[in-house]
Structure 1
Amino acid sequence: MKQDFRQPATTNLFPPRTSLALLIASAFAVASPIAVAGDDQEIPFDDADIYAELNHTDGDLGFHALIDGEPWKRLAIEDTRERRILSIHNRGRLRRQGLTELFFESAEPPFDELTPAQFFNRFPEGIYEVEGRTLDNQEMESEVEFTHLMPAPAANIQLSGVPAAENCDADPLPVVTPPVVISWDPVTHSHPDMGRSGETVEVVRYQLVVEREEPTPLAMSIELPPDVTMMEVPSEFTDLGEEFKFEILVKEESGNQTAVESCFEVDG
């Protein structure tokens, strides 16, 4: 809404009851894709990530970017044919102050409006250039590889041994007795139906998000290393509601990621 190298059998570094604090700490060890610096006279950005995100459940794709570095007053992104697809010029007080970080997500129209083939044709594979100018007029540049290698969605999702519903519209939804343990099979290949299908991928991390929508929105999120494919949702969280939505994101080496969503009810 994301980079994929197959690993053998799953090894759970943390048992289901591992503390949330320890898992959060482990997430910082997961590496981000590295942007390649441009000309030696130019300052590279600290982070320059360009990637696609697929919502496999809803059927949509988005073009995302995360850029961070020295304070800048101008920023641009050029595609593989050196065509500018983004241009930002700070104005007034913000130009004098400078910006350091930028994250954006494109619109994500459903596949009946923009097919995967049309999306990938719109954003071709290859090297994209991120360019900027600092407050003291130094040039900034990083080169980022954007690929069409999308990880397959997480499969065989279980909720304490109960198969997950296909989506949140299922009726009835699975009813689970706490503690709720969400598990899935390791992802080792690319998506079978879009992009560069049939290739092996190297997953760099999974992300699990669990949300309560009623009576007020509440969410928890945890990043997991690639050899951990299960997580126990703290009972302190599931005690706060009756119905929950969860999302599993698979991020492969280039940064591309694929998400699946479903819902469950808690037997309280």
Structure 2
Amino acid sequence: MNTIKSESVKVICHASHLLFVEPDLTRAMTGSVQKTLYRHSFGQHLTKGMLLIAVVMVFTLLAEPVLAGKDKVDIDELPFKATSLIIETTDNDIELQAFVDGNAWKRLKIYGPKNRKVFDLKTQKNLGQQGLSEMHIASEPDHFPEDALAPSEEANEVVRAFLDRFPAGSYEVEGVTIDGIELEGYAILTHVIPALPEILAPLSFGDDPPVVDSNNLVIEWEPVTTRFIGDGSVEIIEYQVILDQVEPLRETPWIDGSARRSLINVPGTVTSLTVPPEYLLPGTLYDFEVLAIEASGNTTISEGEFITAE
């Protein structure tokens, strides 16, 4: 820091700040100031008038780009709100899922680890003018052999071929808004797939689903600590339990055509869920799923069913 004095005026030149002080007056000017107004080599002091002129000139040079920036802000690129790529696996298939969330976009592209384009979507006409925000897509699943459902070596071969098709790594997500602003994001795809949750209750001991008491129904499963394929640990951050009413169907289904559905997420340390009796109807068939969600987002699903007593 350099300090220059001239009677009642003091100027301080600093690498990042320049202060001009008079009695009862302080002004701060932001900029990159790396020279002194005091010429040590000649031992000269600036007069008050010269000093004021110098300070005003420095302030003008520093302030001009800052003030200009306030009048015009160019936004040529924005980040997506959310981007993700995960692998979802059941005992009979495996698929890739993608999710993006952004503001009024009309074009979307996804590039793989080797900069190979794997997805390209362009909206048209009215939808192109309106724009999209969220989108969740799933690939066509690869199915395991009917006589060799997971876990089996035949299922593992299908999984290995699927993983070769979608390598692990960083995937770049690019988009364009309806205003022509570019959107950008990244999603990390991993091959850390948790093993299937082993359901403990309710269990069927024959071809018919078990009959349960609506006032005392607990869905239980074993904790997932291993991978679907290969060695290594997993980090289960959540389990999700999904209940679907199968029979009788609702007269008015959900917009996607499915029956009444309930989703409940529990922490990764919890391995059971008491189903609220208020949700269940007497004499009704339900399907349920237990999802193990790994820290990467990759998910495996085990399924079961039950009938509530009349």
Give TM class, smaller chain: 0.7 to 0.9
Deviation of residue 237 (structure 1)? 2.7
Q: Which residue of 2 aligns with 1:157?
A: 200
* 2:299 is the alignment partner of 1:266: no
Q: Which moved more, 1:40-49 or 1:212-221?
A: 40-49
Which of 1 and 2 has higher RCO (CA within 8 Å, sep 6+)?
1
Q: Which residue of 1 aligns with 2:82?
A: 47
Q: Which residue of 2 aligns with 1:87?
A: 120
Q: Which residue of 2 aligns with 1:148?
A: 191
Q: Structure 2 counterpart of 1:229, which letter?
A: T
Q: Which residue of 2 aligns with 1:4?
A: none
Task: Tell me: CA distance 1:92–1:239, structure 2 relative to 1, closer, same or farther (3 Å).
Answer: closer
Deviation of residue 198 (structure 1)? 2.0
Determine the C-alpha separation between the residues in 1 that align with 2:94 and 2:145: 12
Runs (4+) of structure 1 moved beyond 3 Å?
none
* 2:229 is the alignment partner of 1:186: no
Q: Which residue of 1 aligns with 2:207?
A: 171
SS of the equivalent of 1:157 reads strand
Q: Structure 1 counterpart of 2:133, which letter?
A: T
Determine the C-alpha separation between the residues in 2 that align with 1:238 and 1:102: 32
Determine the C-alpha separation between the residues in 1 that align with 2:159 and 2:141: 11
Deviation of residue 236 (structure 1)? 2.4
* 2:273 is the alignment partner of 1:231: yes
Q: Structure 2 counterpart of 1:241, which letter?
A: G
Task: Tell me: CA distance 1:88–1:171, structure 2 relative to 1, closer, same or farther (3 Å).
Answer: same
Which structure is higher in helix share?
2
Q: Which residue of 2 aligns with 1:201?
A: 234
SS of the equivalent of 2:78 reads coil
Deviation of residue 89 (structure 1)? 1.0
Q: Which residue of 2 aligns with 1:121?
A: 164
Please report the RMSD computed on the Cα atoms of aligned residues, expressed in angstroms: 2.1
Deviation of residue 218 (structure 1)? 2.5
Q: Structure 1 counterpart of 2:264, which letter?
A: I
Determine the C-alpha separation between the residues in 2 that align with 1:241 and 1:74: 49
Deviation of residue 41 (structure 1)? 6.7
Residues 219 and 273, structure 2, Cα contact 8 Å, conserved in 1: yes
Mind listing any 5+ residue stretches in structure 2 that lack a counterpart?
1-74, 147-156, 250-258
Determine the C-alpha separation between the residues in 1 that align with 2:199 and 2:134: 37
Determine the C-alpha separation between the residues in 2 that align with 1:81 and 1:138: 25
Residues 212 and 241, structure 1, Cα contact 8 Å, conserved in 2: no
Q: Which residue of 2 aligns with 1:255?
A: 297
Deviation of residue 189 (structure 1)? 2.2
SS of the equivalent of 2:170 reads strand
Taking only the aligned residue pairs, the percentage that are identical comes to 34
Deviation of residue 156 (structure 1)? 4.7
| TM-score, L = length of structure 2 | 0.65
Q: Structure 2 counterpart of 1:212, which letter?
A: Q
Residues 210 and 220, structure 1, Cα contact 8 Å, conserved in 2: yes
Deviation of residue 243 (structure 1)? 2.5
Residues 119-174 of structure 1, C-alpha deviations (whole Å, 9 max, x = no match): 11111111111111122222211121101110111125223xxxx249xxx51333
Determine the C-alpha separation between the residues in 1 that align with 2:174 and 2:282: 46
Superposition pairs for residues 213-224 of structure 1, below 5 Å?
Answer: 213-216=246-249, 217-224=259-266
Residues 282 and 308, structure 2, Cα contact 8 Å, conserved in 1: no
Q: Structure 1 counterpart of 2:281, which letter?
A: D
Determine the C-alpha separation between the residues in 2 that align with 1:80 and 1:165: 44
Q: Which residue of 2 aligns with 1:98?
A: 131
Determine the C-alpha separation between the residues in 1 that align with 2:260 and 2:185: 37
Instruction: Select the structure of larger CA radius of gyration.
Output: 2
Residues 75 and 130, structure 1, Cα contact 8 Å, conserved in 2: yes
- Size of the aligned set, in residue pairs, is 216
Q: Structure 2 counterpart of 1:213, which letter?
A: V
Task: Tell me: CA distance 1:244–1:79, structure 2 relative to 1, closer, same or farther (3 Å).
Answer: same
Q: Structure 2 counterpart of 1:261, which letter?
A: E
Mind listing any 5+ residue stretches in structure 1 that lack a counterpart?
1-39
Question: Which residue, 93, 96, 109 being the options, matches 1:63?
Answer: 96
Determine the C-alpha separation between the residues in 2 that align with 1:165 and 1:153: 18
